[in-house]
Structure 1
């Protein structure tokens, strides 16, 4: 019975226990990676790191200098463009003010002409009223003169 239990245990371990198979696969993978490839990946990473460092040391200062020169040129051009835009705005404002001033002058001329016409009309009305009053007074005096001549015995 012991032998049967031992055989059943061996069969169970072969069927259900995968540790030996997994251990063998891990050993194969490690051996394949380390022996065949060696340290190729680490050497590639080290080479890339060296290239990046050299690029930073050599290219970064020249790129920074070139960028600063370009930025100063761009800054000067932006200042010039800003100055030109301000001049255009100033001219536009002056033109607008000039047209507004001309419009105001024309409006004032029109108002002055209207005022003069109104004054002329009022003058004519006053002259007409004056002439009517003079005519009434003249007729009144001439009637009074007639009445006086009628009343006086001479």
Structure 2
């Protein structure tokens, strides 16, 4: 029975105890990267780390200054474009007001022409009435003169 327990224990350790295999893989990994490659990857990582630090310390501030300058230029151009757009809009409003003013002027000219025609018509009516009245008064005076002449001759 001891032999069976020992055999079952060996089988169990081979099936479920992976420490020897994992330890062997770890040793192979360490040997592959440390011994054979001579710390090449760590040096590459250190170089990359230095490059990143250098970029953060030197290149990034210079790039940020360039970006700030470009942004200020863009903002200036946008403000100029906005100002020009406002001027164009103002001119359009003035043109609309001017066109409204022109329309009002044309309407006023038409109204003035109609007013002058009406005044001319009224003047002609008044002149006709005046001419009739003058004619009637002339007729009355001539009749009165005839009557006066008759009276003077009769006396």
Instruction: Report the counterpart of residue 125 of structure 1 in structure 2.
Output: 121
Shift of 1:29: 1.4
Map of 1:68-107 to 2, 5 A cutoff? 68-107=64-103
Instruction: Report the counterpart of residue 21 of structure 2 in structure 1.
Output: 29
Map of 1:1-12 to 2, 5 A cutoff? 6=1, 10=4
Is 2:58 the counterpart of 1:65?
no
Distance of 2:140 and 2:13 partners within structure 1: 159
Distance of 1:35 and 1:134 partners within structure 2: 137
Size of the aligned set, in residue pairs, is 144
TM-score (norm 2): 0.62
Distance of 2:124 and 2:40 partners within structure 1: 117
What SS does the corresponding residue of 2:30 show, helix, strand or coil?
coil
Shift of 1:58: 1.7
Instruction: Report the counterpart of residue 38 of structure 1 in structure 2.
Output: 30
Distance of 1:23 and 1:47 partners within structure 2: 38
TM-score (norm 1): 0.63
Distance of 1:140 and 1:129 partners within structure 2: 16
Shift of 1:65: 1.8
Q: Where does the alignment leave 5 or more consecutive residues of structure 1 unmatched?
A: 1-5
Work out which structure has the larger RCO, using CA pairs closer than 8 Å and 6 or more positions apart in sequence: 2
Shift of 1:131: 2.6
Distance of 1:56 and 1:136 partners within structure 2: 114
The more displaced of 133-142 and 69-78 is 133-142
What SS does the corresponding residue of 1:37 show, helix, strand or coil?
helix
